[in-house]
Structure 1
Amino acid sequence: MRPYLHGRRRLRGRRRTMVSLATAVSAAVLLSACNGAMSSSDRKDAAAGYDKKADVTLTWWTGQTPEAQKTAEQLAQQYHQAHPNVTIKTSQGADTADELLPKITAGYQDGSYPDVSYAYGSWAGQLAAGGHTQDLTDYVQKPDFGWEDFPGAAQRTATSNGIVMGIPALVDNLALIYNKKIFDDAGVGYPTDNWTWDQFRTAAKKLTDQEKGVWGTAYSVAGGEDTTWHLWPLLWQRGGAILSGKRPAFNSAEGVAALETLRAIAVDDKSMWLDPTDEKYGAMFRDGKIGMMMSGPWELLELAQTNVKYGVVQLPGFKGDHQTVSGPDLWVLFDHDDADRAGASRDFVKWLTSKDIDAKWNLAIGNLPVRDIEQFTPQFFAYTQEYPGGREFFENLENARQSRPTVTGYDDMSRNVGEAIASVLQGKSKPKEALDLAAAKSVGPLSGS
């Protein structure tokens, strides 16, 4: 299944402009939270008393493109044939995946939210705060579920305040994709997995030829999550943190140094093309105008349609640390005070994310497998043959050792940080003052005030 372009990133067309919804969504979430958000001290099993033979109708919001939606409907029918008592009403849920969050939270007021919905991982804290997500903590630990098969970053993203509230639907990460022809034309050696950021900067400068419209690298300055999450690996590699408790910590010395690394390439060297959107730099790369880009496996689907000769290596590192960031998305399961619906939704998503079904779903359309065990399937081998670089992205999941916080207020903070990065890369402000301002603006949303 291919999500609505997972901005993160090409905010996948990931895919996400989620932060523009922050004000309305935060208000809805806070209202719902006041009406009884779930906490670790107030846990219940939504599926207690579940009768597997009961007739049940589930609503599944897939968040997929029209093409992928057809596959989802086929899967729903396949599940129904094997479980005749379970009927699954399948729809995209909204015109775009970005619109799912406000629609779900609005549905908290009248009970119109679905049983299962696709959700960006960065929404986990907000959705859980509404008090209507199922507590799956004990369920996923059952031996037959195979929770350990999911990458650690995906497990953490599905967990908010210590409670598992969703099942990973998609996994990814950022790596370095490079255009071999541009490197060859400039006489520069290809990147390796051991590259440092200094080597990256040197190469970007050598690759840049503005008279020919060729840039060493690129970065989005749209100010959304695609802008923000590209900074987190550099922060983590230096030993910094996004938060300390519920307070911003990204404006530390490590955060300033991370942003300075990017500023030097963009402002001093002028070897970074600044994308005013979060969608154009991928096309520029495919057109032979960008030598290197930090991006994810979704790019491989586009590159497979071209003749571009490219390579994929892990991100440049700092003192041997090559951490990356992963942006897993989720199948979030909701509680309607109906044990049969809750239990049936769990069984369905367990089936959907099983090794055999996911291999026919995610791998078939170019996404990474959600379970590590799928690397041994024929489908994974076929995936790596069809999409060169796919195995490198899969192996790079081991470098995703930390996750973005699943807390209410992350989207507001992301927007503040994204605007700070954009300002710095455009030469309008300095890293320290920009990050300090972003931190000050983020304190209230993170604390819930």
Structure 2
Amino acid sequence: MKRRMSVLISVLFMFSLLLTACGGGDASGGNQGKKVINVALWDENVRDTLDKSIKIFNEKHPDVQVKVTYTPWADYWTKLKTSLAGNSGPDVYWMNGPNFHSYASSGLIKDLSPLIEQSGLDTSVYNEALVDMYTYQGKLHGLPYFQDSIALFYNKELFDKAGVSYPDNTWTWETVEENAAKLTDKSSGIYGFIAPIDSQIGYYNFIAQAGGYVISDDKKSSGFDSPETLSAFKWEQGLMEKGYSPSAQQQLETKPRQLFGSGKAAMLPGISVNSPELFELLGDKLAVAELPAGKKKASIVHGLSWAINGKTKVEQESWDLIQILSGKEGQELLAESGFSMPAYKGTESGWLDSIPSLDLQVFVDSLEFAVPYPVSQKTAEWQDAEVKEIQAAFLGKKTFEEALKNAGEQMNAILATETK
């Protein structure tokens, strides 16, 4: 009997050891007693920078394991929302402007204000437009990581051949049109300027420069059906009709960056993150200047933030991690990689030096007149209506007056259904 009892105790002891070896260290998916932070993003070009930042984090938190998953953009948002809704999503993840309000209003993103107050974090180190973009109901829900602004890329060789002075910060819409005429060479298929049919590099900027807006500050009304907005599109349309810019159909067939990069256009508004690609295509022929002004200067600013899962079980550890990623150390590493312009003021030097022949300071200076990329809770819905109407007008299927009226009405109807 004693021998049987001894054997039973031995079996139970071994079984308990097996359970301990197989079980997680904690409820958040720990490994061998370590807490685990699961991180999700879509761009592997930032892998090296992220690894270096995580190494800094682990020096302070050796008991925490950071697992990173890279999901291609095409699948990222579907996978993210499904996993978060099923309570199995990542603890920390990339968030962009168009999707932010939808996630924040659904409680999928943690309100960072208590953590900010507790840690004494100074959010003024980030561009105000970017902080506004990731603020929901007056509280910051995402810590800015990197940002991009819009400026005017130009081909110095084409300017030199045409005997035209390079663009500077005094240029206006009128200057663009005047010089685009001189730079256009129809016999060689060269355009003086590309008036983009795209929103971020094109008409969102021009609407703001004309004194208009896409969405009101209170997120309740559209600005599409306004004289200011119409004037922005009329200006673009005029450049196309005079042959100074490729038409909408041409831009749909051949991407503007491809046209510009192949030397078929002298000027192209573009995002700061496009700089490496365009430099690879044009080399030292590439230069950049501030966007020419309409009634005023304006440059659309967008950028990504780090968000924390609203239901994470490793809140403090996740907060400590994104403070490093978006803090001075992490931002300097990001800048040195040349990946993109860091969101933390004063850490840009590494990024500015990434293409020595290109004056990337222009993009930093453009933040002084930055306008936040327009977003609301249902951005994707009203942008779908916007694109359909505006593209139809660019293609000549309807007037801009009709298209903007329709876009405004549809957008207002969608905004009226949003929870404020």
With normalisation by structure 2, the TM-score equals 0.83
3-state SS in 2 of match to 1:327: strand
Tell me the equivalent position of 2:302: 327
- Cα offset for 1:78? 4.3
Q: Which amino acid aligns with 1:115?
A: D
Residue 309 of structure 1 pairs with residue 285 of structure 2: yes
Give the one of 95, 101, 104 matched to 2:72.
95
Aligned residues between the structures: 382
Counterpart-to-counterpart distance in 1, 2:253 and 2:79: 24
- Cα offset for 1:113? 1.7
3-state SS in 1 of match to 2:110: coil
8 A contact 1:325–1:403 mirrored in 2: yes
Tell me the equivalent position of 1:3: none
Give the one of 32, 45, 56 matched to 2:35.
56
Tell me the equivalent position of 2:64: 86
Residue 397 of structure 1 pairs with residue 371 of structure 2: no
Give the one of 163, 173, 182 matched to 1:206.
182
Counterpart-to-counterpart distance in 2, 1:142 and 1:149: 17
Tell me the equivalent position of 1:30: none
3-state SS in 2 of match to 1:424: helix
1:404-423 counterparts in 2 under 5 A? 404-423=373-392
1:201-350 counterparts in 2 under 5 A? 201-221=177-197, 226-227=198-199, 230-244=202-216, 245=218, 246-274=220-248, 276-277=251-252, 280-305=255-280, 306-319=282-295, 321-336=296-311, 338=313, 341-350=314-323
Cα distance, 1:82–1:330 mapped onto 2, change above 3 Å: same
- Cα offset for 1:368? 1.1
Tell me the equivalent position of 1:133: 109
Deviations 1:182-209 (A, max 9, x none): 1122222221111111111222222222
3-state SS in 2 of match to 1:315: coil
What's the RMSD between the two structures over aligned residues? 2.4
Higher normalized helix content (fraction of residues): 2
8 A contact 2:195–2:236 mirrored in 1: no
Counterpart-to-counterpart distance in 1, 2:386 and 2:200: 6
Task: Give the % identical residues.
Answer: 22
Cα distance, 1:211–1:390 mapped onto 2, change above 3 Å: same
1:27-66 counterparts in 2 under 5 A? 55-65=34-44
Give the one of 142, 152, 166 matched to 2:128.
152
Give the one of 157, 160, 167 matched to 1:181.
157
Q: Which amino acid aligns with 1:382?
A: D
Cα distance, 1:206–1:414 mapped onto 2, change above 3 Å: farther
- Cα offset for 1:64? 1.1
Counterpart-to-counterpart distance in 2, 1:185 and 1:141: 57
Counterpart-to-counterpart distance in 2, 1:300 and 1:209: 25
3-state SS in 1 of match to 2:124: helix
- Structure 1: which 5+ runs fail to align? 1-53
After the TM superposition, list the runs of 4 or more consecutive aligned residues in structure 1 that deviate by more than 6 angstroms.
none
- Structure 2: which 5+ runs fail to align? 1-32
Counterpart-to-counterpart distance in 2, 1:279 and 1:121: 27
8 A contact 2:156–2:166 mirrored in 1: yes
3-state SS in 2 of match to 1:108: helix
Counterpart-to-counterpart distance in 1, 2:140 and 2:253: 31
8 A contact 2:53–2:333 mirrored in 1: no
Question: Is the radius of gyration larger for structure 1 or structure 2?
Answer: 2
Q: Which amino acid aligns with 2:261?
A: R
Counterpart-to-counterpart distance in 2, 1:153 and 1:261: 26
Deviations 1:217-276 (A, max 9, x none): 22454xxxx435621222222222222442212221111111111111112445335454
